[in-house]
Structure 1
């Protein structure tokens, strides 16, 4: 979870759900874009470890578009929090990076995942209704398209298998993230 700090009070925290600014009430601060948050004085916080053997004060500074906190050596919880944030970002990127099935590359961004899931449900319904592969292919405009826009999956069984391949891709991403989580937590 990313923490934020305000320009007037640079103490790292979760974004408030309600925020009073310039006499008005701004709600849903945690749903605003990074640009809008910066306009309101809110910036993400990143922790950066000091060199081993360093001592003294660990300042927080606004550098570019983020606050940077120099973590004192031994500030393990701060390092773990940063590593978990990086792990989560990597998980989302891996999920959205696409997957291979039957020699073709398919998109796996959130919208593509939802469309594949809906098409799989449609294939299962078509199967239960006794629809032929030719009828199903017509239903999905000649076939499900790969990343290059070429129709490659045109059968009911193929669509269901594509959905299973998407599920396997998501499982691999989550499994890798969980392994990283365990490594971070036991560090």
Structure 2
């Protein structure tokens, strides 16, 4: 069974003050941390969706082994990036996809491996941290089209998840699921 990784890294990071894909944390870019977590966790292929300052990400980030795709509508929100990423994966043999936003630097390969182990064509699961929903999200291939149809604005997969049973996967023992919205949110 093949499980793809989908890294959503297209946003402008308005609250942060710059695209989060280009934020340096512990000597590396957030986009590199996230792509490595997906690769090291067992995802094949890994697709990175770019948008704001895509050329800068391409020339600055070390993303070998990842497929980079552009979202021309990145400014409309995460939903369009999710649609672009799922479309790029539609020609692969992936059974499921693990979706990860670029602004979760505490997500580790150990978390990704938990989701790889749960993958199936009908899978639907999301990480929880101390009971609160977080990332990543696992979406089985049978669900991709319906997820894409509901993905609009900054909602991403949230509308689909709200309408279906989602398996909760506790991950606080191996990671932090905190989102980085502002510079002060970066883990020290």
TM-score normalised by length of structure 1: 0.21
Q: Larger relative CO (CA 8 A, sep 6+): 1 or 2?
A: 2
Q: Looking at secondary structure, tell me which structure has more helix per residue.
A: 1
TM-score normalised by length of structure 2: 0.21
